[in-house]
Amino acid sequence: MPALVLLGAQWGDEGKGKATDLLGGSVDYVVRYQGGNNAGHTVVVGDQKYALHLLPSGILTPECTPVIGNGVVVDPSVLFSELNGLGERGVDTSKLLISGNAHIITPYNVTVDKVTERFLGKRKIGTTGRGIGPTYADKINRVGIRIQDLYDESILTQKVEAALDVKNQLLTKLYNRRAIEAGQVVEELLTYADRLKPYVADTTLILNDALDDDKVVLFEGGQGTLLDIDHGTYPFVTSSNPTAGGACTGAGVGPTKISRVIGILKAYTTRVGAGPFPTELFDEDGEALRRIGGERGVTTGRDRRCGWFDAVIARYATRVNGLTDFFLTKLDVLTGWEEIPVCVAYEIDGKRVEELPYSQTDFHHAKPVYENLPGWSEDITKAKTFEDLPKNAQAYVKALEDMSGAPISAIGVGPGRDETIEINSFI
């Protein structure tokens, strides 16, 4: 012990990469437990900026062992290009461990993701096009390919053939595309086997042994609570469980081992892709948040949709994750507004609602009820303690904490490692 989970409390891009990296120095293992290279985690170390998609953010801390858990979906070509990129910048990636049970994003999964989105037309999800949904669908349908299959050519061939049987029918008869040849896929997958081998391990055993040895293990979520397949704004979600329970299934560690669940919470709200977003702004305030916050996707380069802070969402994240703490990020982006609206409740069909409605139809109709909090104009990027913040910024943080249901234990005032106010220690 202790095991900590660090996850997104909104729709992703809350600053999980920075928060994970910050804790990296005091952590022995950093584990990704779900998602794949749909994630885009930015870490700024000194004057160096890193964009990580599949690798855990702990890879940038030499003392830390990065782990890709069984719940992750792995595109080997992306993995290698990320490893190569870091290697060229002098980052040692040799400690990486990958679960043999993790599923592989095959080239046909990527094709199916893109073709399905095109076919959905106006009703598309706005996926990252990385093959995430189809790979998890294959896993649940029991026709997925796992990393360990690369080491048994005959099994691999049988599995790829089984997966392609149905897919080729779909591709040729419904989507009007060419069939994919199983032999070619097997050949491509086998080219990854040797290079992957040294990383492949029984990560469940290693992590449980580490916890028994009192090592510190940090589970780093991708995406966010509202993108969770069960608890998010379905169907406008990703295909995995970024919420806290996902850390257990996605890494093979029991819930009794987890002592802290930290929700990363942006001081305003953003979302990429389609789906409901009650506090979304379509005016110059939204444009200003996008510009000042640099709200452009790390993975797809799409502009992020921006809006004011939504306390209903934050309360919901506290509930479904059992959050013990929040790490509030990007407070500096709000500097300069005279007043900052915060959504404290929704109005749905004329009624005030304090909690996230479980009906998606209601959620689509939710109108934010705002309270205006006084803003501040002082530069806060050098603040080191809570008391260094202007009074109105302190009051904004306190108000968010009261509304969100868990203590705010750290505050981000800039993208760098040192641009953080630590209030309560996480470890």
Residue numbers at the binding site for ligand IMO (CB under 6 A):
8, 12-13, 38-41, 125-128, 130, 132-133, 222-224, 227, 238-239, 272-273
Q: Is the dihedral of CA 415, 83, 94, 264 positive or negative?
A: positive
Binding site, annotated residues for substrate: 298-304
Distance of closest approach, residue 80 Cβ to ligand GDP, in angstroms: 22
The answer to whether 86 and 93 have CB atoms below 8 angstroms apart is yes
Q: Is 344 helix (H, G, I), strand (E, B) or coil?
A: strand
Is 8 one of the binding residues for Mg ion (CB under 5 A)?
no
Query: How far apart, in whole angstroms, are the C-alpha atoms of residue 219 and residue 176?
Result: 42
Is 341 one of the binding residues for Mg ion (CB under 5 A)?
no
65 contact choice in ligand GDP, Mg ion, ligand IMO, none (CB below 5 to 8 Å, kind-dependent): none
Scanning the structure block, which residue is given the tokens 């009703």?
A: 123
The answer to whether 75 and 103 have CB atoms below 8 angstroms apart is no
Distance of closest approach, residue 78 Cβ to ligand IMO, in angstroms: 13
245 contact choice in Mg ion, ligand GDP, ligand IMO, none (CB below 5 to 8 Å, kind-dependent): none
Distance of closest approach, residue 83 Cβ to ligand GDP, in angstroms: 19
Residue 192 or 219 having the CB closest to ligand GDP? 219
Query: How far apart, in whole angstroms, are the C-alpha atoms of residue 261 and residue 231?
Result: 16
Binding string, 285-304, against Mg ion, x = CB under 5 A? -------------x------
Q: Choose, by CB under 5 A, the member of 13, 149, 325, 332 that binds Mg ion.
A: 13
Q: C-alpha dihedral over 393, 399, 402, 407, to 10 degrees?
A: -10
Residue 11 or 346 having the CB closest to ligand GDP? 11
Distance of closest approach, residue 13 Cβ to ligand GDP, in angstroms: 4
Distance of closest approach, residue 378 Cβ to ligand IMO, in angstroms: 30
Query: How far apart, in whole angstroms, are the C-alpha atoms of residue 215 and residue 292?
Result: 39
Structure tokens at 196: 């992957």
Q: Are strands 41-45 and 48-52 parallel, antiparallel or unpaired?
A: antiparallel
Distance of closest approach, residue 165 Cβ to Mg ion, in angstroms: 36
Pick from 212, 301, 291, 208: which is nearest to 253 by CA? 208
Residue numbers at the binding site for ligand GDP (CB under 6 A):
8, 12-18, 39-42, 44, 294, 298, 329-330, 332-333, 412-415
Structure tokens at 122: 């106006």
238 contact choice in Mg ion, ligand GDP, ligand IMO, none (CB below 5 to 8 Å, kind-dependent): ligand IMO
Residue 136 or 308 having the CB closest to ligand IMO? 136
- Residues involved in catalysis: 13, 41, 139
Residue 218 or 383 having the CB closest to ligand IMO? 218
Q: How many residues does the chain have?
A: 427
Is 82 one of the binding residues for Mg ion (CB under 5 A)?
no
Q: Are strands 325-329 and 351-353 parallel, antiparallel or unpaired?
A: unpaired
Is 220 one of the binding residues for Mg ion (CB under 5 A)?
no
Residue 67 or 334 having the CB closest to ligand GDP? 334
172, containing H or E segment: none
List, in sequence order, the alpha helices (H) in 126-202.
Answer: 132-140, 153-169, 182-196
133 contact choice in Mg ion, ligand GDP, ligand IMO, none (CB below 5 to 8 Å, kind-dependent): ligand IMO
Query: What totals of helices (H) and strands (E) does the chain contain, helices first?
Result: 12, 20
Distance of closest approach, residue 409 Cβ to ligand IMO, in angstroms: 20
- Residue number with the smallest Cβ distance to ligand IMO: 273
Residue 18 or 167 having the CB closest to ligand IMO? 18
DSSP symbols for 381-420: TT--SGGGS-HHHHHHHHHHHHHHTS-EEEEESSSBTTSE
Q: How many CB atoms lie within 10 A of CB 235?
A: 13
Is 40 one of the binding residues for Mg ion (CB under 5 A)?
yes
Rg (CA), the chain: 22
Residues 6+ apart with CB under 8 A from 326: 9, 262, 263, 264, 265, 314, 401, 404, 406, 407, 408, 409
Residue 149 or 310 having the CB closest to ligand GDP? 310
18 contact choice in ligand IMO, Mg ion, ligand GDP, none (CB below 5 to 8 Å, kind-dependent): ligand GDP
Binding site, annotated residues for GTP: 12-18, 40-42, 304, 330-332, 412-414
Binding site, annotated residues for Mg(2+): 13, 40
The answer to whether 24 and 59 have CB atoms below 8 angstroms apart is no
Contact residues toward Mg ion (CB under 5 A) are 13, 40, 298
